[in-house]
Amino acid sequence: MTVGKVYLIGAGPGDIKLITVKGLECIQKADVIVYDRLANPRLLSYRRPDAELIYVGKSPDRHTLTQEEINQVLVEEGLKGKVVARLKGGDPYVFGRGGEEGEELRKAGVPFEEVPGITSAISVPAYAGIPITHRDFTASFTVVTGHEEPGKETSNVNWPRLAQDPGTLVFLMGVGNLPQIVENLVKHGKDAQTPIALIRWGTRPEQRVVTGTLSNIVEVVEKAGIKSPAIIIIGQVVTLRDTLRWFEDKPLFGKRVLVTRSREQASVLSEKLENLGAEAWEYPTIKIQEPDDLAELDAAVAHAGDYNWIIFTSVNGVKAFFKRMQVLKLDVRSLGQAKICAIGPKTAEALEERGLLVDVMPEVFRAEAVVEALKGRIQAGDKVLLPRADLARQVLVDSLQQLGADVHEVISYQTVLADETDTQLLLEKLQAGEIHVVTFTSSSTVTNFLKLIGDHRDLLQGVILACIGPVTAETAEKNGLHVDICAKQYTIDGLVNAIQGYFNK
C-alpha cells in the first residue's frame, strides 16, 4: 500500500498574498485539503478541480471536529496514499497544534512536512501600524496563548515575569479572557496606564483596531463589540499606531470586490484593486476558448493580406488571431498592406507587442466610435476583416456595411460559461454581507453571473454593482439589476477609477 504525505501549512494571518510560495505549491498539488476557520477560503481557489475539501474549523463556542478527530482524518487520508494539505491560519507551530498533528502522523507512519506560515503575532500588528519591536521602546517581545484561563491554579503562564517584562506582550486568541489577562498583569505590577491594542480579523477587509490602556481596555472592547478572532498587543509600541498606520488609510480599505472576468484576465483587475486596499475575490463567470471549428478563422488568417482593414476589438481577439498565425507558420509580413484598427489602448498594446502599429484607435472604446473614426478612411468596396467573439454585438458589422465596406466577420474565440466552482462559498459571502462590490467587464460576465447564482439574485440587495461601460450596464439593467457605477473610460483602469471615485464621495 502506498502511503501519501501530509503538509502542515501555515496560511498566514488572512491576506491571501501572505501565504508562502511553498505553501501555495502544496495547495496546488494536494489531493485533499483539510482547512480551518482562520485560513482564508480564497486560497481554496488554487486547488486542483478534483481536490477534496474537508472543513475542520473551530471557534470558541463550536468545534466542527475535535483535535483528536482532526488528527485521525489526517492519518486516514495519508494512509490512503493521498497528498494532504492541512491548511491552518498563521503558523502551524505557533499555538496551532501542528506539533500534535505531526506527532500523530509520525506515530502512524505517515510522512509529513511543516510549511511555516507568517504568524499573526507579528503580521497583524504590522497591518495596524504597530511594530512589536522598536529600538526607542523595546528590544524584545513575548507571545503568549490567550486561551489558557489566567486564574487557574496550575497555569503555565508566568504572570509575575510577564508583568515585569519591559518588552511587548502579544496574546493570541485571548479576547474572551481579556478581563483576567488585564487583572493578572496589573496585580503583578504592570502599570495600569500601559498602552494596549486589540486587532480583530487583522490583514483582512474586516480589520478593526481599538486602543486604550490596561485601566480602560475592557470597557473599550465591550463598547466596540470586539469579538474573536482578535489578538492583543501590550506595550509602548502601541503609541506608534497613529504614525505608522497604512493599511486602513488605503482608499478602498474594507471593501471586498468580486471580479467576474475569466481566470486568465482576472489578475490584472485584482491587482489594481488590491493596490488600493480592497480585497479582490475572483469568481470567473466566463471562460475563453477556441471556436469549435477553426477552418473559417484559419482561412481568414491565411488570407489576411487580401484585406484593406483588420479591426481588433479586444485583447482576446488579438491573442486568438496570432495564435492561429503561429500554427499556420505565418508572421506579420503576411498581413501585407492591411491597415489596423483597435478598440482600446490594451488592444493596441497587444498588437504593438506583436510588431503591429495601429492606424486608428477611437477615443471612445465602443463599436459606434469605431465607425465614426473610420468615416472617410474606409472606402466603398474596401474589404474589412473583423475577428472577434461569438457573442459580439451586430452594430459594428451593420454600421461598417452602411459605409459600403465588404465586411467578413469571423469568430476568433468563444466566450462560454465558466465551470461552476465555489458558487456555494460565494453565496455564503453574499448572505453574510461580505461582498461589497460586484464588477462586470462585459455583457457575458453579467449574464453568466446570473446563471451561476440562479435563484439567489436577491442576495445582491445592498451590493454595489460596477460596470466597465454603458453596453455592459445596459445588459445588467435589462436583466433587472441596478447599476451603481458605470465607468466613463471603458477600460480596466477606468473601472477601477470609477469605483474609487464612488467611495471617495
Which residues participate in catalysis according to the annotation? Answer: 36, 58, 173
Q: DSSP per residue over 293-311, as a string?
A: --HHHHHHHHTGGG-SEEE
**Which of these, 461, 490, 297, 302, lies nearest to 386 by C-alpha position?**
297
For the four alpha carbons of 363, 365, 367 and 368, in that order, the dihedral sign comes to negative
Q: Distance between terminal CA atoms of the chain?
A: 63
Residue 90's beta-bridge partner residues?
12
What's CA 426's distance to the chain center, in Å?
12
CB 23, CB 10: distance < 8 Å: yes
**Which of these, 90, 88, 74, 67, lies nearest to 31 by C-alpha position?**
74
How many angstroms separate the CA atoms of 176 and 182, rounded? 12
Instruction: Give the contacts of 481 (CB within 8 A, at least 6 positions apart).
Output: 446, 457, 460, 465
Half-sphere exposure of 191 (CA within 13 A, CB side): 10
How many angstroms separate the CA atoms of 63 and 389, rounded? 49
CB 483, CB 465: distance < 8 Å: yes
Instruction: Please count the other Cβ atoms lying within 10 Å of the Cβ belonging to residue 259.
Output: 26
> Which grid cell is 217?
481596555
How many angstroms separate the CA atoms of 311 and 316, rounded? 13
> Which grid cell is 123?
503580521
| Rounded (10°) CA dihedral 436, 439, 444, 450 | 0
**Which of these, 386, 391, 373, 359, lies nearest to 475 by C-alpha position?**
391
Instruction: Give the contacts of 207 (CB within 8 A, at least 6 positions apart).
Output: 127, 128, 199, 200, 201, 247, 248, 254
What's CA 185's distance to the chain center, in Å?
40
CB 323, CB 485: distance < 8 Å: no
**Which of these, 224, 265, 246, 238, lies nearest to 350 by C-alpha position?**
265
Instruction: Give the contacts of 307 (CB within 8 A, at least 6 positions apart).
Output: 338, 383, 384, 385, 408
**Which of these, 401, 408, 354, lies nearest to 374 by C-alpha position?**
401
